[in-house]
Structure formats: structure tokens, C-alpha cells
Amino acid sequence: MGNKLILVVALIVVLLGCGAPDTREPRGALAVASQAVEAGDGRRLFRVIDQRSRFALAAIQQARSAAAALIRADYPTDAQAEALAQLGDAAQVTDAPDLFVRRCPAACQAAIGALLGAPAHEQVVSGGSGAELEVQTTTGTVVRLYKGNDDHYGIDFHHQALSDERDRAARELDQIRQNAEVYKKRKALDAP
């Protein structure tokens, strides 16, 4: 009796696991995105935006957090508030999914959800940084997907603008590092 129960439980687990959408397929990525939007789960939706945008958001958040730490540690007190304000929202979040949710709140997520549907026709098109898959849905909308290096599809989400911002955040972090070094040297000279 015990072995039969274990077999039944194992079969149920396997069957339930088989139904999970596979984001290595366009249909699976669209299904996961749709489920995330329906559930109001922005962090889950973040996982099915294109890899380029996820990586750019992560780099932006990391650069801005590092810059904020340098400003708090080494900038003069009277210069900190203005310097921190210039870093924007990316310095105020804990990770890339939080930054995505801040920049794509409920209305933005609903707009993405309005584009989603079952694929009716797919064609490869030239994108800003490689081939993208343009999916026409059964609802008449068009969604662009990008297949990342991990072989998973993701919905194109402002990848070019985010890439530009990532590069700017990296340049500004370098400048903030240099400024921090100057401020540290001044503090050392002013010390009694």
C-alpha cells in the first residue's frame, strides 16, 4: 500500500511539472508573462523580459547603488543630497526586479499584458542587437521576443534605452569614484 501511495504522489508531481510553461519556447514565454500580469507579479514579469533589458537593469541598479555608497562615504555632507538626487530611482531600490517594478508599475504591466496572446504567426526580424522573433498573436497584437544566451525567450522591454542608461551609469560611476578620491585626499589634508 505504501509503495502505491508513493507512486501516485510521484505521478502527480510529474504531471503537474509537465504543465509548466517553458520559456525556451515563444509560447511558454508569453504564457509566463501573461500569468505574471494576471497575478500582478511584477518580479515574475521581470524574469520574462528580454535578457538584454534584465542585464541592463541589473547593471544600472548596481552602478547607482555603488555610486550612492561612495557619495555617502566620501562626499562632503553639504554635497551629498544633490549628488544622491542626481542618481535617480535606481539608487533607491534593492535589486533589478525592484527597479523594473518601479519603472513598470501596474499600468505598464497591464499594457504589456494587453499585447499578449497565443502565437498565430512568427517571423524572425532584425532587431537593434541581433535577431528578434516577431510574434503575431491570435488577438491581433504583435510582440517582439529576444532569445538570450541562456536559450530563453523574453519580451523586448526598452532594451536600447536601458543599454544607453547602463553605459551612462557606468561612466558616471567612474566620475564619482574619481570625485570620491579627491574628497578623501582633501579630508586627509584638512585633518589635524
Q: What percent of the chain has a predicted confidence (pLDDT) above 70?
A: 89
> How high does pLDDT run on average in the chain?
89
pLDDT at 10 over 50: no
pLDDT score at 18: 55
Q: Is residue 93 part of a domain?
A: yes
- Alpha-carbon distance of 107 to 37, in angstroms, equals 10
The number of folded domains in the chain is 1
Express each pLDDT in 142-167 by its tens digit: 999 999 999 999 999 999 999 999 99
Residue 11: pLDDT band with limits 50, 70, 90: very low
Q: Is residue 57 part of a domain?
A: yes
Express each pLDDT in 50-107 by its tens digit: 999 999 999 999 999 999 999 999 999 999 999 999 999 999 999 999 999 999 999 9
Give pTM, 2 decimals: 0.85
pLDDT at 37 over 90: yes
User: Which segment of 46-50, 106-110, 123-127, 174-178 scores lowest on mean pLDDT?
Assistant: 123-127
Provide mean pLDDT across the span 177-189.
Answer: 91
Q: Is residue 145 part of a domain?
A: no
Residue 188: pLDDT band with limits 50, 70, 90: confident
Q: Is residue 181 part of a domain?
A: no
Of the candidates 22, 37, 31, 20, the one whose C-alpha atom is nearest the C-alpha of residue 137 is 31
Which residues are CB-contacts of 3 (< 8 A; sequence separation ≥ 6)? none
Residue 128: pLDDT band with limits 50, 70, 90: low
Q: Is residue 60 part of a domain?
A: yes
Q: Is residue 187 part of a domain?
A: no
Residue 80 structural domain: 27-115+158-173
Q: Is residue 163 part of a domain?
A: yes
- Alpha-carbon distance of 53 to 144, in angstroms, equals 13
Q: Is residue 74 part of a domain?
A: yes
- Alpha-carbon distance of 167 to 60, in angstroms, equals 8
